[in-house]
Every structure is written in structure tokens, then in C-alpha cells.
């Protein structure tokens, strides 16, 4: 009989703690204050000068002669950008990096 009463007592004590696991149920912390904190920690997106892969290819073609073999998104100088693989008219394979934020182009 003592064991049964201990089980009821333990259950009554633990249920309130398990019921308040989410932050939305905490007193004084609403969903709106949580989303405001999340929004302030994110950086505002900056305007990119090169917005897609096709723009990056066009910029590279204006500056370098050859055929584009491959173009993929990449990080360039810590910024979003593109890495373009070309083959020159002489048969030399080379890469060009395009910084999407600044629009700068550099042969690697």
C-alpha cells in the first residue's frame, strides 16, 4: 500500500514539470518575443550584383575567351559567388571566380 501512494505522489510532482517543456508555455516568454530575438540575430541580406549562375557566366565570357565547361555556386572571399571552369581556344583549362556581392572577377 505504501508503494502505491508513493507512485501517485511521484506522478503528481513530475507531470507539471514535463508539461512545460516548450518555451512558448513559459510564463513571460511569448512566441512574439521569441521571434523578435531570432530576427535581431540574423543579418539583413545584402543586395547582390550577380544574382544567378547565368549572369556570372555572361560576365566571365565578356572578359575571357573560351568555352564554359562548368559553373557552380561557391564561396569567394567569404561572400557568395560562382566558380566557372573554362577551356581556352588553345586548349588550356582554367577557373575564374566571380564574387556575387561585389561583382569582381578573378582568374585562379
Would residue 98 count as lying in a domain? yes
CA distance 76 to 103: 11
Name the domain count of the chain: 1
Would residue 42 count as lying in a domain? no
pLDDT in tens, 4-39: 555 454 444 544 544 554 444 545 555 544 445 455
pLDDT in tens, 44-101: 567 999 999 999 999 999 999 999 999 999 999 999 999 999 999 999 999 999 999 9
- Cell numbers that stand for 47 in this block: 543586395
Would residue 101 count as lying in a domain? yes
Residues facing residue 75 across a β-bridge: 80
What's the CATH code of the domain at 98? 3.10.450
CA distance 94 to 91: 10
Domain with 90 in it: 53-107
Would residue 64 count as lying in a domain? yes
Task: Determine contact, residues 26/20, Cβ cutoff 8 Å.
Answer: yes
Amino acid at each position: 500500500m505504501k508503494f502505491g501512494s508513493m507512485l501517485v505522489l511521484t506522478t503528481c510532482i513530475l507531470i507539471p514539470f514535463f508539461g512545460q517543456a516548450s518555451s512558448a508555455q513559459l510564463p513571460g516568454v511569448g512566441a512574439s518575443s521569441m521571434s523578435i530575438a531570432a530576427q535581431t540575430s540574423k543579418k539583413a541580406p545584402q543586395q547582390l550584383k550577380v544574382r544567378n549562375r547565368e549572369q556570372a557566366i555572361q560576365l566571365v565570357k565578356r572578359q575571357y575567351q573560351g568555352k564554359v565547361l562548368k559553373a557552380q555556386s561557391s564561396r569567394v572571399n567569404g561572400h557568395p559567388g560562382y566558380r566557372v571552369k573554362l577551356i581556352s581556344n588553345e586548349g588550356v583549362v582554367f577557373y575564374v571566380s566571380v564574387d556575387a556581392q561585389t561583382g569582381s572577377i578573378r582568374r585562379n
